[in-house]
Amino acid sequence: MGSTGTASAAGSAATGERRSAADAVGVAVLAACAAWSLITAAAHEGRPEGMLLAVLAVAAGYASGRIFGALLPVAAPCAGALAGLGLAIATPGPQISLELGHTGATAALLTLSSGAACCAAWAARPPALRLALRLLAAGTAVTAAVLGSTTGFVTCTGVLLCSLAAARVRRRALGLTGLAAAAVLVTGATWAISEDALPTGLTASLEGQLTEHRVLLWHDALHMARAHPTLGVGPGRYGELSPTVAQSLLPDGKPHSAPLQQAAEQGLTGVALLAAAFCWVLYALLRSPRSTPIALTTGAALTALAAIASIGNALSFMTVTAGAGLLAGIATARPLTTGEPDDGLDPEGRFGHPGA
């Protein structure tokens, strides 16, 4: 009995150290993102307020998620799912542009809502409640279709399917690695399109889906990144320097791609910091004390958000960045209640410690 208690205490201490390391990495990455935006703004008289607000929204959302996830492991993600769904439905019409279609905010909110509903389902005990929460996630996908967001329908459906499949994943590290690879693939495809590096037929097909105007915005961003690879042109200055934006009827001053916007406005270091923020979230999920299905469901939702942000301006909306931080915080919180069900899975991973 004594040796078992000692081993349990040692395991809890090791888990606490891993979580502390993940939190320290997060603080360092977010601080670096804020500092770099100030540096690049000072170099080119840019406007770093947008980046600073995004960092603040992520940090506030993450902290809130850690608190509410510990106190209300089922109710918190359920409330978040309903709030995101309501915000998506109430999204005002001006977000739809004749040249670009949906900006991505609606799809992003619906995707995060679907992920939150699936996380709540995994944390719930009664089978009837689990079914109801999964039906909520399915209803979110249907809502995306009704709202005309094809991207949202695809991503919400993908998150739901990934969540259901997560129960069969033995090692969360392998699942999270696959999600990271998917994010790299989408980002690489976006960059390849802006570089005109794909075969002509494939490029023409993708441009038809993305719209020619969006691709021209990407070309402008890539041109700025090549001209200023170190510091970029300065935060918030893309709209001033883009010929495509100047000729647009309804300009919003964005290139509609988070990686390309970072490259244009904050140089390659900005892109690296954006990638580091995403990797930090995956690392925090790897070390999360929550069950593997919850970690992988959250990872799937945030990967889908990364894909949406690669082809849209979803991260320009504070509701989206705060929602992403909130979901990540809930998925990395240690509930005060014990015995999280998750179909009999160990709360610290499907087969052992959180890295399993």
176-216 pLDDT, tens per residue? 999 999 999 999 999 998 888 777 777 777 767 788 888 89
Q: How confident is the model at residue 17, as a pLDDT?
A: 65
Once rounded to an integer, what is the mean pLDDT over residues 22-42? 95
pLDDT over threshold 60, residue 342: no
Q: What is the reported pTM?
A: 0.89
**With bands split at pLDDT 50, 70 and 90, how would you rate the model's confidence at 122?**
very high
Q: Is 171 exposed, middle or buried (0-12, 13-18, 19+ CB in 10 A)?
A: middle
Q: Which residue has the higher pLDDT, 353 or 296?
A: 296
pLDDT over threshold 60, residue 329: yes
User: Residues 6 or more apart from 230 whose CB is under 8 A from it?
Assistant: 267, 268, 269
Q: Which tokens is 301 given? A: 């939702």
Spatial distance between the Cα atoms of 126 and 63, rounded to a whole number of angstroms: 28
Q: How confident is the model at residue 21, as a pLDDT?
A: 87
Q: How confident is the model at residue 78, as a pLDDT?
A: 97
pLDDT over threshold 90, residue 69: yes
Query: Cα 118 from chain centroid?
Result: 15
Query: Cα 207 from chain centroid?
Result: 24
Q: Which residue has the higher pLDDT, 337 or 299?
A: 299
Q: Is 195 exposed, middle or buried (0-12, 13-18, 19+ CB in 10 A)?
A: exposed
Q: How confident is the model at residue 34, as a pLDDT?
A: 97
Which among 203, 194, 318 has a CA at the least distance from the CA of 257?
194
127-179 pLDDT, tens per residue? 999 999 999 999 999 999 998 888 999 999 999 999 999 999 989 999 999 99
Q: How confident is the model at residue 14, as a pLDDT?
A: 53
Q: How confident is the model at residue 317, as a pLDDT?
A: 92
pLDDT over threshold 60, residue 306: yes
Q: How confident is the model at residue 210, as a pLDDT?
A: 80
pLDDT over threshold 70, residue 349: no
Once rounded to an integer, what is the mean pLDDT over residues 267-294? 96
Percent of the chain with pLDDT over 70: 85
**With bands split at pLDDT 50, 70 and 90, how would you rate the model's confidence at 354?**
very low
pLDDT over threshold 50, residue 346: no
Long-range contacts formed by 242-251: CB under 8 A, 24+ apart: 242/217, 244/213, 244/216, 244/217, 244/219, 244/220, 245/217, 245/220, 248/99, 248/213, 249/98, 249/99, 250/97, 250/98, 250/99
**With bands split at pLDDT 50, 70 and 90, how would you rate the model's confidence at 8?**
very low
pLDDT over threshold 80, residue 5: no
Q: Which residue has the higher pLDDT, 336 or 60?
A: 60
Once rounded to an integer, what is the mean pLDDT over residues 67-84? 96
Q: Is 247 exposed, middle or buried (0-12, 13-18, 19+ CB in 10 A)?
A: exposed
228-257 pLDDT, tens per residue? 999 999 999 998 999 988 887 767 788 999
Query: What is the rounded average pLDDT for all residues in the chain?
Result: 86
Q: How confident is the model at residue 356, as a pLDDT?
A: 45
263 within 8 A of 231, measured Cβ to Cβ = no
**With bands split at pLDDT 50, 70 and 90, how would you rate the model's confidence at 11?**
very low
Delimit the domains of the chain by residue range.
Answer: 14-344
354 within 8 A of 285, measured Cβ to Cβ = no
**With bands split at pLDDT 50, 70 and 90, how would you rate the model's confidence at 351?**
very low
